[in-house]
Amino acid sequence: MKNLLLIFIFIFAFTIQNTEAQGLKIDETTVIKDVEGKTISIDAFSKLMGSGKWMIDQKTDEDGENYIQLRKATAAEKELILNMMKQNMSDSDLVGKTASAFKLTDMDGNIITTENTRGKVVVFNFWFTTCKPCINEIPELNEVHKKYKDNTNIVFASITFNKKEAVEGFLQKYPINYPVITDDENTISAFGINGYPTNLIIGKDGKIADSVMGGFPMIGEHIEKAIEAALEAE
């Protein structure tokens, strides 16, 4: 089943809040209804749940048949989802370690190094052109960059092993609005990246403040919080 991990996580979040629904299983035979009461497919359900904006209730119709009803998540539930996704996707082994030294040259010839970012918060996104989760999170990452682009204490960089020619074509369809570094297997190897997408937030002290592997709903919100925490840290 597509997005089985995501469905499991969200249902787990739901069962924490509603003990009567413990043991609930959702598969292709389950009747699932959207907020308007229309029956939707398991694939449609999976996509909606993947947004992190919905929760579910188990209900019974007038004929005594059980079904799943979608509803908009409350602010508290969204926070719960975000925290659960963070726990499942974060690489805690990297957090607190000194970041590897780096010297990057973006597609416009600008240079980003350990030295010229010292004392700043650095946000790295590791990706590649045919990675669907990488593509899915680009709009959210662009929004985060838009929010902080005028803050000189934050540096963004998008790093891929793909060649420049391939990335140029990719960016025509999926624009990335901050520096893009291509053909950089050395930096990827130095940071030990083995899953995509991976987002690293490096604190002002040069240590990795957060590391999140794998695209997930509300990644932008998570990165914003990590940036704010890194900015506030002494």
**Residues 77 and 110 reside in one and the same domain:** no
* Residues in Cβ contact with 150 at an 8 Å cutoff, skipping those fewer than 6 apart: none
* pLDDT under 70: residue ranges of the chain: 1-27, 46-47, 50-52, 81-92, 214-217
Q: At what angle do helices 75-89 and 219-232 cross, to 10 degrees?
A: 80
Q: What is the CA radius of gyration of the chain?
A: 20
Report the domain count for the chain: 2
Residue-wise pLDDT tens digits, 89-102 = 555 678 889 999 99
Per the structure, the complete domain to which residue 111 belongs is given by: 90-232
**Residues 81 and 107 reside in one and the same domain:** no
- Please tell me the predicted confidence (pLDDT) of residue 49: 72
Contact 42, 3 (CB under 8 A): no
- Please tell me the predicted confidence (pLDDT) of residue 85: 59
**Residues 222 and 138 reside in one and the same domain:** yes
**Residues 130 and 222 reside in one and the same domain:** yes
**Residues 217 and 119 reside in one and the same domain:** yes
